[in-house]
Structure 1
Amino acid sequence: MSTSTWAGVRDRVLGLAERPGADQVFGARGHGFRLGPVMDEVQLRSLEADLGVGLPASYRAFLLHVGGGGAGPDYGLMTPTPGDGGWQWRGTGLGFSAAPTTAEFAGRPFVAEALAGELAALEAREPGEDAYASEEEFRRAYAAWDARYEELYDAQEAGAVFLSEQGCGYSSLMVMTGPHRGAIWEDLRPMDRGIVPTGHNFGDWYRSWLERTERDLAGVRPTAT
């Protein structure tokens, strides 16, 4: 997706705040159709150094020409932010933010897809108390099982950025490494569906949200005063 794809997008997004009905758009109370400042090449190279890999092209162009974060799908986009511990994505200016993600963690291999089968197999082997001779043996076995489950559960998040909070514990992630790099996946673990692909890359995902929001607001009439 070329730089020209983002031409005029910043003004279009900011202009939505003035449209009748804008405050009724889902997520607007979280981002208010505000966008953070755009980033420059020096900042992006520093971020990529911590990440250990180049940013997906469409997202990189977005950061350069639209904004570092703010208005976007659901409750808005997290913003890459430098700090003492390196770069991380944080909910700057958002009323409801996703979990922060460090660049170092996002630059690890993306393994959610590979771990899905392993997690399912582990769930099927959850210890039952009646299989053990004593309560103490069961507690030890369950503690070991639970520790492994938590390890695999958390490992699913590596190689991706928690980019946008959907509400009710669901989030949109952007994959940063491997063959799915630049793709948007959803964290649907609260409904036991794992981390799954949406079939969209960042550019398509963001522009679809913008175009849908513009269509929804086009038919809203100003409130009579």
Structure 2
Amino acid sequence: MHNEQIERILAKLRLLKQKDEAYSIFGAEDHRYELDEAWTLDDAMRFEQKWNVKLPEAYRAFLLLAGSGGAGPYYGLERPEEGVYTDLDYKNELNDVSGCFPYTEAWNAETDWDDERLSEAEQEALENDYFSPDKSAGLLRISNFGCGVSINLVVNGPCYGQIWIDDRVNQGGIYPDHYFENTERLTFLDWYETWLDRSLDEISL
């Protein structure tokens, strides 16, 4: 079903690698336009069984036909087994990827973080609630935007298959991806191909 778009994506990726020999596109010095080895069907089934999720079809097809990480937007694609943790840098807390992602619209806490009337204990309680893993349940991190911001794929919940941003580290909340100036909700392959199209335009300037 997604083979044609994936073939087009891989052709654009090869073209971008050819044109960007200096790795001038953001993140290219890290991934160098190389994809990690594609998954087998057994790999996909083991992951889904281990984490009790059903990967969105478009993303699953990419893992099987293109690659399981590497070249991609920002600092590149994270491997799925790395995206199950809540922290970008420390693999010490698992996210509840099999839980239901609770949001359908952008969410942020209605909190005045600079309210000096809050005691230290109240401030800590607010922060613990704000960063609670239940806020990111049902999300699989797929890319690192930088500055603590993560790009995520909804793998369970009403927004299943969409790309959402977790910008809580900058008090920006959690919201649908609009970094590419899109007005529609993006699914994985459209998100990835949009990055390729914009990068090709950028390198041609």
TM-score (norm 2): 0.78
Opposite residue 66 of structure 2, the aligned amino acid is V
CA distance in 2, matches of 1:56, 1:113: 17
Is 1:54 aligned with 2:59? Answer: no
CA-atom RMSD in angstroms: 3.1
- Comparing both chains, which one has the higher relative contact order based on Cα–Cα distances under 8 Å and sequence gaps of 6 or more? 2
Partner of 2:186: 200
Report the more deviating stretch, 8-17 or 172-181: 8-17
SS, match of residue 7 in structure 1 = helix
Higher strand content, 1 or 2: 1
Is 1:169 aligned with 2:169? Answer: no
**Cα distance per residue 1:8-38 (max 9 Å; x no partner):** 5335424533324551111112211110011
CA distance in 2, matches of 1:113, 1:152: 18
Query: Alpha carbons of 1:127 and 1:113: their partners in 2 closer, same or farther (altered >3 Å)?
Result: farther
Query: Alpha carbons of 1:100 and 1:40: their partners in 2 closer, same or farther (altered >3 Å)?
Result: farther
- Checking the alignment, whether the CA contact within 8 Å between 1:51 and 1:104 is kept in structure 2 is no
Opposite residue 61 of structure 1, the aligned amino acid is A
Higher helix content, 1 or 2: 1
CA distance in 2, matches of 1:14, 1:100: 32
CA distance in 1, matches of 2:30, 2:23: 10
Aligned 1:42-81 pairs, distance under 5 A = 42-81=42-81
Query: Alpha carbons of 1:25 and 1:127: their partners in 2 closer, same or farther (altered >3 Å)?
Result: closer
CA distance in 1, matches of 2:59, 2:131: 27
Partner of 1:110: 101
Give, in angstroms, the shift of residue 165 of structure 1: 1.2
Runs (5+) with no aligned partner, structure 1: 82-87, 91-96, 130-137, 221-225
Opposite residue 176 of structure 1, the aligned amino acid is V
Partner of 1:40: 40
Give, in angstroms, the shift of residue 43 of structure 1: 0.6
**Cα distance per residue 1:145-165 (max 9 Å; x no partner):** 523531342322221122111
- Checking the alignment, whether the CA contact within 8 Å between 1:76 and 1:165 is kept in structure 2 is yes
CA distance in 2, matches of 1:196, 1:24: 28
Partner of 2:83: 89
